[in-house]
Amino acid sequence: MARPAVAQTNSLLMRAIPGSGELVPAVGLGTARIFDNANEATRAKAAAVVQALVANGGRIIDTASTYGDAEIVMGAEIAGSNLRDKIFIATKLESPDPSELRRSLNRLKTAKVDLLQLHNVEKQRQSLAKFREWKSQGICRYIGVTSTFHQDFPAVEAVLRREKPDFVQIDYSLDVREAEKRILPLAADVKAGVVTAIPFGNGRLFSAVRAKPIPDWASEFAGSWAQFFLKYLLADTRVTAVIPGTGDPKHMIDNLGAIRGRLPDAKERARMISFVEAL
């Protein structure tokens, strides 16, 4: 059963983190494969996108120790622009390794992050004990687990049930909805926030609708295809935030349009599924 976790603040869609009640904007920024090279061009791209994120009501930036130089690029921009207090930084470690944690914090130019996640959970007995220790030390405010591999959903489910982390991050999009049946109900049961990675299906959804207009029946709630796809996910109140990746500030602003205006209702969501399945 979907929990009531929606609030409208200054007309922006905010979601409550289940374990704390803290409100965060429901659209953030993913960084995989976009900011993996710390060259001048990438740094300029990051500056424009991060500024667009903050100026238009966003806060969450999700990265990882394995995303090339993304932590370096994001850390330099956030520190250089004095935006640390305006950004909810989420990063991921491959293991509970203190040296990997130190490396990530150094690259991000911060003594602590908001969300620290165990990346790509694949074993049912994986423990978050070290992550809890880091949380108790104030190195992170929240802990979580992630996986975008559906074959590892049994491991994610087992770790969610046993460890009850603050967050889980999974692959969820309008055309890949397995998480609706398996992960979202369990996350609600253990009071874990849900972050959805790959909300555009690695570009599949945009390819499917290329040169097609948004249906008239969807124009009331979606001003673009990006908002159409994101608002499908956000209409499920168990979803805390969606984190589409982009290196284009115009796309960042468009994505943030999904936290404005109304969301599709249950009948409209069913119609959205039928529409995409018919493409």
Q: At what angle do helices 153-163 and 178-190 cross, to 10 degrees?
A: 10
Answer yes or no: pTM beyond 0.85. yes
Please answer whether residues 198 and 208 qualify as being in contact, where contact means their C-beta atoms are separated by less than 8 angstroms: no
187 domain-assigned: yes
Task: Summarize pLDDT for 57-102 with one digit per residue, the tens.
Answer: 999 999 999 999 999 999 999 999 999 999 999 999 999 999 999 9
Could you list the residue range(s) of the whole structural domain that residue 148 is in?
Answer: 6-277
For 54, residues 6+ apart whose C-beta sits below 8 A from its C-beta are 83, 86, 87
| pLDDT for the residue numbered 10 | 52
Tell me the CATH number at 206.
3.20.20.100
1 domain-assigned: no
Q: Which residue in this structure is represented by tokens 């555009």? A: 200
Please answer whether residues 61 and 90 qualify as being in contact, where contact means their C-beta atoms are separated by less than 8 angstroms: yes
Task: Summarize pLDDT for 193-223 with one digit per residue, the tens.
Answer: 999 999 999 999 999 999 999 999 999 999 9
In whole angstroms, how large is the CA radius of gyration of the chain? 18
Q: Is 145 exposed, middle or buried (0-12, 13-18, 19+ CB in 10 A)?
A: buried
Question: What is d(CA 264, CA 188) in angstroms, rounded to the nearest whole number?
Answer: 21
| pLDDT for the residue numbered 252 | 98
Number of domains in the chain: 1
Q: SS3 of 101, please? A: helix
pLDDT below 70 — which residues of the chain? 1-10
Residues forming beta bridges with residue 167, ordered by sequence position:
144, 193
